[in-house]
């Protein structure tokens, strides 16, 4: 038996022959073959070939490894780790039984530790392999987060979830893990066809027949909720708690936990805790002192529904406990804490920090590449890595290759298509023997002069959204040009962390290129032009006119002429109400977006980034705004373009209750360029986002734009008011965000936004919830900044009869302006 025969069987994807080879070889031959198998696994292959060979390769590696650690390391390297999702457990077990290795149990544990937590394609197949290894080896039950997640999937998908849960050898060890790990909420919350045979219903029924399990479930829900987290991760535990129908004695036993949840939990969690405590009180199991503490906490919460529920409970309690009626009355009539008065203050103008010095050595480059692959996508990290790779490719190609090669297949944080193209660029930098199919595809896209066609540019976007196109295109260009036409420096490397590139620095780079007789790469140079500020020192303009290269002439034209800006076209999209529409349930009634018409005679990258088409109906799944700092860094002088590209995502944060990406609004304040309908709408949707983190970022953006004088308060307020009047934005959200901005000193700006938003809101026959809160905020800001004018629609509200809080606040506002 020769190692070459085994390698040929792997290349032929022949699992049967691989098993036969392991059976007939002696242990010395097996161990000797491992190094060749591991080296072959490291070779670059196209995706289809690597996955076709993976089952045979996995069996061969397991059949020849000397230790568990060695084989686990190789199995989880590069594309082979994806092959584990389709591996057949039978042949793997067969070679392990043949060899009777002493490390079987260790192998099962290590494989369990390396399971992926994601629920993407084929992940359950990976878990099923580990499940078989654990059962066969008899090792201790793995209790890691990923193994527990896979077990949940297995129980949920079983034909009889009750029987599967009852008979699983993992149940006793893993049920406590449901409440120990923090990222299992989405797994628990998954409802398979929304029927009664899912995992959580089976879990509840298991608890109904076993008091110890039920106690574990009830206490586990409380402990997990006490640790907090995103609402989406906690929702499963509040639903499980509701399904358990916690009894009054069970609630009384956990009264301390429920008190803490009333105080610090999100609104849903606090409501759940109040319900449990109320049940205990109505059963006579809650002491008066405890009820008084609960009432104090609940009445101090900002949610009106919780305050109303606590008020109703207290009134009922007063009838049951007449001896405490006076204390109940005092609690109910206690003085509400007055809203603090805002004070106008000078707002700091956002200033972009310098990018930082270039990476000075290959050791620094290795450190920064590792950080990039691990998830550091800050502008300084990304840009300095790209610049250093270009520099060292020309200065010392072999040293660069030695530095980068070990990092090519390192584990990396998810980054969609950009991760693929980063890998291709690193492969080129490491002078890899042979090229991947992906590299050959990219090489075919570029013309010999370094350019690329428009259709090819769109292909580079892949599944990366929005303005990630710019970085995706640059990475693709580097993947090809590092080998075909290396240059000692990149033109597009910014001078500031917000992406801005000083004209004097680009002039210096172009002068160097002319002296040394080389031309910059096409997309890199076009990105450089997009990063220039909108104003330039006249001396730099004069010097640019002396440049003679094609790139130098283009630079001079850009500095001498007007900045190319697109035309913003505001659009209203309406939900598709046809019953056959797939997205009917996920569309807001109306959404406002902005289309962009590109400037004339635009270059390729400008044409692609400044063309935005919007259709008649909202996008039901607008995508994710990952790494927003890279969006703004691509176009630091065109914030209207950035906002228009991101609008569907930012809108969904408010009108569909998505979350994420709001940080873009804070970055926009550091950008330059015209402020138009896209920026105004982006800010409006951000202020009304469901997520508090997104609203805080929008407040930062508002403060920055107000500080630079670029905020159009009336336009932002008009968008907020009209969308709230249409029922797609919640007034309480943006009223709270505006209050924070006012407390930070932007009193005049908030006044302008608030009164403009009130105009369409007060025209409604029935006021939207929290409109009175917005009116009260306008009163406080008007008082603080000395407002002298009031829209007639708001003034007219003060003439209405009645004593509602909204009308009373309108009268106060009118009197304030008249004074």
Only one residue has tokens 């199991």, namely 285
The torsion defined by the Cα of 464, 466, 471 and 477, in degrees rounded to 10, comes to 80
Instruction: Give residue 47's pLDDT.
Output: 74
CA distances from 365 to 368, 369, 385, 472 (A): 5, 6, 6, 20
Q: Is residue 200 within 8 Å of residue 242, measured between CB atoms? A: no
Length of the chain measured in residues: 819
pLDDT average, residue stretch 686-705 = 93
What are the φ and ψ backbone dihedral angles of 246, each rounded to 5 degrees? -55, 130
Pull the structure tokens for residue 435. Answer: 């090229």
Q: How far apart are CA 649 and CA 619, in angstroms?
A: 9
Q: List the end-to-end C-alpha distance of the chain, in Å, as a whole number.
A: 101
Residue 447 has what pLDDT?
Answer: 58
pLDDT per position as a tens digit, 399-453: 999 998 888 876 565 566 677 778 778 888 877 544 566 566 666 666 555 566 6
User: What CA–CA distance (Å, rounded) separates 288 from 275?
Assistant: 17
pLDDT (tens digit, 9 = 90+) per residue, 245-267?
999 999 999 999 999 999 988 88
- Is the pLDDT at 463 greater than 50? The verdict is no
pTM of the model: 0.68
- Contacts (Cβ under 8 Å, ≥6 apart) of 643: 594, 668, 678, 679, 681, 682
> How does pLDDT run across 639-660, given as a tens digit for each residue?
999 999 999 999 999 998 888 8
- CA 25 to mean position of chain CA atoms: 51
| For residue 618, pLDDT beyond 60 | yes
Share above pLDDT 70 across residues of the chain, in percent, rounded to a whole number:
90
Q: Which residue has the higher pLDDT, 813 or 92?
A: 92
Q: Are 298 and 262 in contact (CB under 8 A)?
A: yes
What's the pLDDT at 230? 77
**What is the rounded average pLDDT of the residues 227-249?**
90
CA distance 412 to 430: 17
**CA 525, 531, 533, 537: dihedral to nearest 10 degrees?**
-30
Helix H or strand E encompassing 597: strand 590-597
In tens, the pLDDT along 273-323 reads 999 999 999 999 999 999 999 998 998 887 878 888 999 999 888 888 888
Would you say 359 and 796 are in contact if contact means Cβ atoms under 8 Å apart?
no
Separation of alpha carbons 334 and 121, rounded Å: 56
Task: Decide: 783 and 816 in contact? Cβ < 8 Å.
Answer: yes
Instruction: Give the pLDDT confidence score for residue 646 in this predicted structure.
Output: 94
Residue 212 scores a pLDDT above 60: yes
Q: Comparing C-alpha atoms, which of 480, 472, 426, 404 is closest to residue 448? A: 480
Q: Is a pLDDT exceeding 60 seen at residue 730?
A: yes
Rounded CA separation 415/533 (Å):
29
| pLDDT surpasses 60 at 455 | no
> Comparing 476 with 716, which gets the higher pLDDT?
716
173-210 pLDDT per residue, tens: 999 999 999 988 878 876 533 445 578 889 999 999 99
Lowest mean pLDDT among 453-467, 692-706, 771-785: 453-467
What value does the mean pLDDT of the chain take?
Answer: 88
Beta bridge partners of 354: 496
Q: What is the pLDDT of residue 723?
A: 97
Mean pLDDT of 699-713: 96
pLDDT of res. 435: 58
Could you give the CA distance from residue 404 to residue 464 in angstroms, rounded to a whole number?
Answer: 25
């Amino acid at each position: 038996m020769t190692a070459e025969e085994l390698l040929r069987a792997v290349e032929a994807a022949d699992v049967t022959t691989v098993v036969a080879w392991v059976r007939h070889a002696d242990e010395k031959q097996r161990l000797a073959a491992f190094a060749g198998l591991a080296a072959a696994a490291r070779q670059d292959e196209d995706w289809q070939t690597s996955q076709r060979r993976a089952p045979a390769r996995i069996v061969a590696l397991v059949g020849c490894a000397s230790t568990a650690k060695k084989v686990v390391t190789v199995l989880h390297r590069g594309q082979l780790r994806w092959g584990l999702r389709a591996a057949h457990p039978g042949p793997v077990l067969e070679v392990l039984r043949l060899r009777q290795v002493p490390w079987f149990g260790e192998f099962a544990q290590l494989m369990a530790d390396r399971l992926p937590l994601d629920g993407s394609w084929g992940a359950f197949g990976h878990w099923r392999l580990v499940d078989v290894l654990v059962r066969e080896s008899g090792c201790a039950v793995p209790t890691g987060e990923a193994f527990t997640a896979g077990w949940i999937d297995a129980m949920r998908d079983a034909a009889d979830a009750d029987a599967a849960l009852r008979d699983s050898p993992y149940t006793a060890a893993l049920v406590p893990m449901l409440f120990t790990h923090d990222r299992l909420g989405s797994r628990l919350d998954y409802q398979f066809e929304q029927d009664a045979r899912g995992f959580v219903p089976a879990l509840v029924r298991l608890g109904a027949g076993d008091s110890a399990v039920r106690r574990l479930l009830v206490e586990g829900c409380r402990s997990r909720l006490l640790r907090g987290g995103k609402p989406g991760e906690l929702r499963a535990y509040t639903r499980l708690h509701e399904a358990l129908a916690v009894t009054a004695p069970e609630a009384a036993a956990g009264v301390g936990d429920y008190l803490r949840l009333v105080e610090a939990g999100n609104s849903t969690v606090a409501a759940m805790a109040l319900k449990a405590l109320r049940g205990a009180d109505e059963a006579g199991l809650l002491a008066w002192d405890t009820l008084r503490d609960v009432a104090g906490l609940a009445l101090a919460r900002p949610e009106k529904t919780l305050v109303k529920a606590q008020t109703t409970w207290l009134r009922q309690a007063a009838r049951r406990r007449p001896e405490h009626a006076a204390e109940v009355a005092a609690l109910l009539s206690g003085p509400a804490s007055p809203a603090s008065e805002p004070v106008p203050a000078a707002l700091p103008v956002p200033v972009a920090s310098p990018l930082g010095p270039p990476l000075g050595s290959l050791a620094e480059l290795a450190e920064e590449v590792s950080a990039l692959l691990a998830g550091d996508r800050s502008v300084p990290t990304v840009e300095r890595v790209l610049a250093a790779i270009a520099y060292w490719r020309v200065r010392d190609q072999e040293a660069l290759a030695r530095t980068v090669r070990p990092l090519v297949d390192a584990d990396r944080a998810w980054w969609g298509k950009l991760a693929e193209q980063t890998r291709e660029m690193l492969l080129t930098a490491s002078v890899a023997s042979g090229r991947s199919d992906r590299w050959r595809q990219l090489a075919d896209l570029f013309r010999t002069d370094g350019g690329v066609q428009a259709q090819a540019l769109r292909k580079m976007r892949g599944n990366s959204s929005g303005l990630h196109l710019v970085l995706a295109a640059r990475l693709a260009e580097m993947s090809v040009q590092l080998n075909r036409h290396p240059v000692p420096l990149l033109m597009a490397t910014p001078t500031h962390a917000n992406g801005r590139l000083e004209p004097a620095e680009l002039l210096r780079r172009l002068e160097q290129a002319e002296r040394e007789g080389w031309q910059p790469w096409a997309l890199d140079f076009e990105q450089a032009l997009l990063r220039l500020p909108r104003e330039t020192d006249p001396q730099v303009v004069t010097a640019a006119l002396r440049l003679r290269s094609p790139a130098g002439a283009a630079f001079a034209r850009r500095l001498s002429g007007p900045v190319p800006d697109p035309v913003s076209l505001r659009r209203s999209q309406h939900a598709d109400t046809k019953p056959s529409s797939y997205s009917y349930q996920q569309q807001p009634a109306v959404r406002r977006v902005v289309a962009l018409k590109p400037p004339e005679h635009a270059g390729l990258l400008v044409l692609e980034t400044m063309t935005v088409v919007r259709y008649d109906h909202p996008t039901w799944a607008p995508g994710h705004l990952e790494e927003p700092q890279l969006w703004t860094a691509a176009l630091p002088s065109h914030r209207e373009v950035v906002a228009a590209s991101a609008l569907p995502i930012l809108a969904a944060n408010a009108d569909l209750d998505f979350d994420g990406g709001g940080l873009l609004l804070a970055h926009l304040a550091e950008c330059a360029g015209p402020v138009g309908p896209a920026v105004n709408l982006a800010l409006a949707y951000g202020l009304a986002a469901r997520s508090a983190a997104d609203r805080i970022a929008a407040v930062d953006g508002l403060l920055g734009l107000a500080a630079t004088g670029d905020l159009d308060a009336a336009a932002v307020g008009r968008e907020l008011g009209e969308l709230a009047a249409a029922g797609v934005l919640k007034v309480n959200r943006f009223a709270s965000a505006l209050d924070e901005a006012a407390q930070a000193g932007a009193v005049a700006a908030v006044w302008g936004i608030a009164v403009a938003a009130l105009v369409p809101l007060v025209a409604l026959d029935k006021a939207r919830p929290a409109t009175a809160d917005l009116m009260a905020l306008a009163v406080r800001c008007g008082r603080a900044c000395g407002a002298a004018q009031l829209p007639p629609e708001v003034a007219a509200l003060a003439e209405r009869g009645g004593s509602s809080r909204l009308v009373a606040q309108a009268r106060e506002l009118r009197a304030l302006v008249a004074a």
